[in-house]
Structure 1
């Protein structure tokens, strides 16, 4: 390929990236606001409900153990405080009936799929907002919160999701 074709290809790619950034700026702003204000966006199709921290805490706090296992640390049991994912979906007014999965997204773009059956199991898929008695700090403060999805039956913590801002029922 000659140099002009390479320059044209790079130019086209830069324009495409610019268009996508422009199109997504409002979405990024909305999710950033939700993250900074400990809000959670819950979606089913085109319907969105925003829950705040008090809405979530009102569902009944649970303290539960879970083993944090990362690539840089040894497995260690932590005591998390949070609520079952199923209850958050119900609080938003949505049903898991006739659904296949729940998609959980973090502010950093990390996305986790949790099956309907895993979500219905209230001892498996939980949204935590505290660990060992301390509130989860947001990403910009070096934490993993304000919300973190904990999938307790995930042996290696691979489907845990930090910085949760959105839950989508599909």
Structure 2
């Protein structure tokens, strides 16, 4: 009986140690350097198969003709709400920097917090479907460190649960 108590005494610390090591390993695998200069310039890097093919900034998007649209947004743990957005079709932003999305099939949107969502080029080519937005409800979207969702984000119009929208947009990667 005393031997069983000694063994049980070590089970919880052993499990905690294994969990701590697991968390450390996963954190190391998921760690990615965030380019601070890119964040300060409010830039989005556009890649194809991992290689950079272009960049655009908040200023680039704001110089284009703004499109206003409304959509229902569902955030985790909250009811869906209708929001008014201001931005530009992603297709138009890409074409303005010399990137033709029709040369590719798939796209991944990556956020500053490493959230990644996927889509297709067919969606990007549709009118009124995929936007780069910088305004929500008449106000410019603020960066993450100010509690905002921007300065740029991807909104895929008509998404039922908003899961593929990408706040804090940092990178677009085509394949």
What TM-score bracket applies, with the shorter chain setting the length? Answer: 0.7 to 0.9
What corresponds to 2:143 in structure 1? 138
What is the deviation of 1:19? 8.7
Q: Equivalents in 2 of 1:161, 1:78: separation in Å? A: 15
What corresponds to 2:46 in structure 1? 42
TM-score (norm. length: structure 1):
0.80
Q: Equivalents in 2 of 1:106, 1:44: separation in Å? A: 17
Q: Equivalents in 1 of 2:26, 2:108: separation in Å? A: 27
- Report the number of matched residues: 162
- 1:54-103 Cα shifts (integer Å, max 9, x gaps): 21122311111011112322221111000111112212211122411121
Q: How much is the aligned-residue C-alpha RMSD, in angstroms?
A: 2.9
What is the deviation of 1:109? 0.4
Higher CA-based Rg? 2
Does 1:91 pair with 2:91? no
What corresponds to 2:76 in structure 1? 71
What is the deviation of 1:14? 6.1
What corresponds to 1:4 in structure 2? none
Segments of 5+ residues of structure 1 without an aligned counterpart are: 1-6
Q: Equivalents in 2 of 1:129, 1:76: separation in Å? A: 18
Does 1:118 pair with 2:123? yes
The structure 1 segments of at least 4 consecutive aligned residues displaced by more than 4 Å after TM superposition are 13-21
Does 1:154 pair with 2:159? yes
Q: Equivalents in 2 of 1:87, 1:66: separation in Å? A: 20
What corresponds to 2:170 in structure 1? 165
Does 1:62 pair with 2:36? no
Q: Equivalents in 1 of 2:43, 2:28: separation in Å? A: 28
